[in-house]
Amino acid sequence: MLDISTLKGKTAIITGSTSGIGLGIAQGFADAGINIVINGFGSDEQIEEAVSSVKSCGVKAIYNGADMTKPEQIAEMVNAVAEEFGSVDIVVNNAGIQTVAPVTEFPENRWDAIIAINMSSAFHMVKAALPHMHKNNWGRIINISSAHGLVASPYKSAYVTAKHGITGFTKTVALEEARSGVTCNAICPGYVFTPLVEGQIADTAKARGLSEEEVINDVLLAAQWTKKFVTVEQLAGTALFLCSDAAENITGVSVPVDGGWTSA
């Protein structure tokens, strides 16, 4: 039987948790009794709804709007959380953006933003959080990578580059922290129907000359052998397992949750 009761009362910062996968993980963690820091952008109502839905599980929850392109805001958030909650136990590096375009037309500012948000922010978060984890000889770092951290697809050069970078960063941090009680792993989802995926359907249709329905069936789910979108609840469950004592000896791995995509 998987015991996650030891996670009760720990504190997790989940970047990009105002929507999609991050919000799903925040809800799963709050259900397990973990205090939550919601981060990301959104309307006042969206942020308020995210905070109150996790609070309804009886945990402490706050919002911090640190911009993942700004290293100083990331460090300030981590230190403010340590002060308010007394520790930073779990970090989920989840914030991410996407642009779909051929390399020859890829906008430079989108390349820079994707590398900053999807890759470099994980480095800044981990650098700021590790000293707090070391105080308790315990920590869990979970990087939300992607099947695109293991294999490529055309027209996603910046995203694939950033996610492959996360795979390497995950392994390196795992080795450096192997004896500190801190594990570092990545989760590599296939397609999850979130606003990020919804938003790229039209662009992919344009880039490939397909209808939006063809993009869903023949592009998004083409490689997903189960022919089912991954759910945020399944990702929250995977993240909780990686935080549990059962996963103490699992570190440096990239766990595909992709309906068989990267096995083919």
**192 lies in the binding site for ligand NAD (CB under 6 A):** yes
Per CB under 6 A, 176 contacts ligand NAD: no
> Exposure string (b/e) for 210-231, b if CB count within 10 Å is 16 or more?
beeeebbeebbbebbeeeebbe
The nearest distance, CB 9 to ligand NAD, in angstroms, is: 25
Residue 106 in tokens: 């890829």
Instruction: Indicate if 159 belongs to the active site.
Output: yes
Contact by Cβ (8 Å): 36, 91: no
> Closest distance between ligand NAD and the C-beta of residue 179, in Å?
29
Instruction: Give the range of 56-64, 125-133, 167-175, 193-201 binding ligand NAD by CB under 6 A.
Output: 193-201
Q: How far is the CB of 264 from ligand NAD (least distance, A)?
A: 17
Q: Which of 11, 35, 120, 194 touches ligand NAD (CB under 6 A)? A: 194
Asked whether position 38 contacts ligand NAD by CB under 6 A, the answer is no
| CA 224 to centroid of chain Cα atoms | 20
Residue 18 sits in the site that holds ligand NAD (CB under 6 A):
yes
Q: How many residues contact ligand NAD, by CB under 6 A?
A: 30
Q: What is the C-alpha to C-alpha distance for residues 168 and 82, in angstroms, rounded to an integer?
A: 27
Burial of 175 (0-12, 13-18, 19+ CB in 10 A): exposed
Q: Is 196 in the site for ligand NAD (CB under 6 A)?
A: yes
Selected from 35, 99, 146, 244, the binder of ligand NAD by CB under 6 A is 146
Distance separating the N- and C-terminal Cα atoms of the chain: 31
Please give the distance of CA 131 from its chain centroid, rounded to a whole number.
21
Between CA 91 and CA 141 the distance in angstroms is 5
Give the residue with the Cβ less far from ligand NAD, 137 or 217: 217
Burial of 3 (0-12, 13-18, 19+ CB in 10 A): exposed
Interface with ligand NAD includes 189 (CB under 6 A)?
Answer: yes
The whole-angstrom separation of Cα 117 and Cα 126 is 14
Q: Please give the structure tokens belonging to residue 148.
A: 């695109």
Catalytic residue among 63, 155, 159, 191: 159
Residues between 102 and 121 with contacts to ligand NAD, criterion CB under 6 A:
117-118
Binding span for ligand NAD by CB under 6 A among 67-75, 129-137, 173-181, 242-250: 67-75
Give the span between the Cα atoms of 150 and 165, in whole angstroms.
10
Of 43 and 104, CB closest to ligand NAD:
43
Q: Does 81 sit near ligand NAD (CB under 6 A)?
A: no
Active site residues: 159
Where along the sequence are the contacts to ligand NAD (CB under 6 A)? 15-22, 39-42, 67-69, 94-97, 117-118, 144, 146, 189, 191-192, 194-197
